[in-house]
Structures are given as structure tokens and as C-alpha cells.
Amino acid sequence: MQETAGSYAASARETSLHYALQALKGRSLIEPEDFSLGEMEELFLLAEKIEKDEKYLRESCRGKLLATLFFEPSTRTRLSFEAAMLRLGGSFLGFADPGSSSSSKGESLADTIRMAASYADTIVMRNPKEGAALLASRYSSVPVINAGDGGHHHPTQTLTDLLTIKRLLGKTDSLTVGFCGDLKFGRTVHSLAKALARYNDIKMIFISPSELVLPEYIKSILKRQNVDFSERENLEKSMPEFDVLYMTRVQKERFFNEEDYIRLKDTYVLNTDKMSAGKEKLIVLHPLPRVNEISVEVDSDPRAVYFAQAKYGMYVRMALLASILGVV
Ligand code: NCD
């Protein structure tokens, strides 16, 4: 085939794409800031490429093993990592229930990690304790990916959320983003708010009951970065302002008493009535699982994109695994 300017540009683009992603080889991902904006951008481009050409990178991880250590329940995150690894031609081993691992016999996290690192090429871990992923990365000889550490962070959900926004709105700046629900314990909110603070001209509106407001440490990061943000209690009145609305469930497992959970769990329910006040180009995201906070009647609204979001999560995890394992 004769080389044209277009094909040359495409192959040059591909070379530089691979070059940028080579910098991720062997790196852990504990918080969204562990990767530069440029590195995330390249991951999104690779994820889009994989989405458009399912054969791309298909056998690239043959012979590689991923350990999935889930000390807390998960459906999407674990299954999307496992699907991602299988689609890349690799394999996985691990547990979905800590009761079936030696941690139930009193084994320390450090020992479990040292052992898993000697069997696998990379580790994905979810743990109920804040800081567990960072600790794991200090004991591991292979990269560790944080799939959620308590109410702290969830960086691969953030990659999923940013990719969804980028693919569906065509940009990740100049946006008004509403976060609604459990902003105190919701780790997906903490990670996404911190990540969005690095982009230009992002306005954030945090909507929660007073008991579930965003933690001070996240607010002080936003203030330091001069992010325009406000805190409110009413969802309905804010609906016309959002380009992105990020709904979250009340995190039952992080409550100290059941009564508080029952009192707060149904504070916000997004329904078709509230949606009617939203912009035509609004997108509604939710990391899922949903409980009652979005009524099922909203699912058929084209602006409800949470199931597409879950699929983008698999593509971006494929891009992440391929990059960390150095096969791009
Ligand atoms: C989230 C989590 O585990 O933090 N789920 C997910 O990973 N998609 C959100 C939640 O559990 O509410």
C-alpha cells in the first residue's frame, strides 16, 4: 500500500501513542493523580481504539496472570477486570470473598500481597480499609491497582467516568458536574472530584444531606486548586445547571448505625419528573450498583448512560492492564 500523508500521520500517532504508554509499564495505580493528564489521555485513546477494533491487542497478554483480590463485594469492577484480562488473552486467579482466603485465618495483608505477587504479574485489590492499596503496593514486587480502599479512592472507576464523559460529550473541560448522594463515604466521588479538579473550567455542585457532605480534605484540595464549587441540599432546583449528573447510592456498609442509614437512604430519587428539568445534552452517570436513587423509568431516557459507562469501564481497564504489563 502506498504511504499517504494520512497513513503516515496515523502510524506516527500510533508510535507516539505506544511510546507514551510505555511509561506506565510496571507502575501501580493507587490514586487518580498517580498518572499525569497526558498519560490518562493516552489511555483513553487506546481504550477507544480497542472499543472500535475488538481484535486490537487481543492476544497481547497471553501467558500473563492477573490476581484479583477482593476483600469487599464487587460485581462490575471485578468482572470488568477479569473480562479485560481474558479479552487480552491473559488469565486471572484470586478470590471474591475474603472468607475463602487466609485473611480469615489472621494472615496480614502484607503477607497475602507478597504471596500473590510471586504468582501473578499484576494485582487488583479491593479492601475495606483506607490506605490498604498503598500499603499493598509497598509490599508488592508487581504493580498494584486499587479497586477501592474503603471510603477513600477508586481510580479505575474514575478512568471509566472520565472516558465516558469524553466519549459522550467530546470533552473533559468547561463542564458543570453535579454529584448527588453519599458524598461522605462515596469513594468514586472523592476520586472523580479530585481528578476533575485538574481539568480547566470545571464547576462542581455537591448535593447531599448535611450528614453526608464531602470530606474536608477533598474540599481543601478543591480550594487549593481554585475549583468553583458549591454545596447544596436540593437536587431538583439544580437540575437545569448540569452537563453531567453523577448519582451515587448511600454506602450502607460504611454506616455505624442502621437507623441513620434508613433515615438517609432515600433522600434523593432521580425520576422522570426531575429529568424533565435537565438539559437536553445532560448525561447521568452512576458507578452502580443502584439501589433506589434512580428510578427504573429513567433508564429509557437517552441521557441515562450508566450502563454504557459500565462497558467503557472494561475498555479502559483493558488499556490499563496492557500498559501496566508493558505489551502496548
Ligand atoms: C462503587 C464502589 O464500589 O465504590 N461501585 C463500583 O465499583 N462500580 C460504588 C458503590 O458501591 O456504590
Say if residues 46 and 319 touch (Cβ distance below 8 Å).
yes
Q: In the prediction, which pLDDT does 10 show?
A: 58
Rounded to whole angstroms, the Cα distance separating 162 from 308 reads 13
Grid coordinates in use for 134? 498503598
Rounded to whole angstroms, the Cα distance separating 307 from 325 reads 28
Q: In the prediction, which pLDDT does 105 show?
A: 85
Tell which atom from ligand 1 comes closest to the C-alpha of 126: 3
- HSE at residue 314, side-chain half, CA atoms within 13 A, is 18
Rounded to whole angstroms, the Cα distance separating 167 from 184 reads 28
Evaluate the omega torsion of the peptide bond into residue 287 and state whether it is cis, within 30 degrees of 0. no
Q: Which residues contact 236 (CB under 8 A, 6 or more apart)?
A: 274, 277
Per CATH, 13-153+313-324 and 156-310 having the same topology is answered yes
Tell which atom from ligand 1 comes closest to the C-alpha of 313: 8
Domain spans of the chain?
A: 13-153+313-324, 156-310
| Tens digits of residue pLDDT in 13-42 | 555 667 889 999 999 999 999 999 999 999
What residue's CA is closest to ligand 1, atom 11?
289
For residues 87-106, give the mean pLDDT: 91
Q: In the prediction, which pLDDT does 19 show?
A: 80
Q: In the prediction, which pLDDT does 6 show?
A: 52
Q: In the prediction, which pLDDT does 227 show?
A: 98
CATH class of 13-153+313-324: alpha beta
Q: How confident is the model at residue 4 (pLDDT cuts 50, 70, 90)?
A: low
Nearest residue to 250 via CA among 284, 215, 219, 291: 291
Q: In the prediction, which pLDDT does 55 show?
A: 92
Ligand 1 pocket (Cβ < 6 Å) reads 76-77, 148, 154, 157, 187-188, 248-249, 287-289
Tell me the CA–centroid distance for residue 246 and ligand 1, in Å: 12
Mutate to test the pocket of ligand 1, among 247, 255, 288, 292 (most ligand atoms within 8 A of CB): 288
Active site residues: 76-77, 105, 126, 154
CATH superfamily, domain 156-310, is Aspartate/ornithine carbamoyltransferase (3.40.50.1370)
**CB count in 10 Å sphere of residue 236:** 12
For residues 113-137, give the mean pLDDT: 98
Q: In the prediction, which pLDDT does 9 show?
A: 52
Q: Please give the model's pTM, rounded to 2 decimal places.
A: 0.94
Q: What is the dihedral of CA 33, 306, 93, 320, to 10 degrees?
A: -40
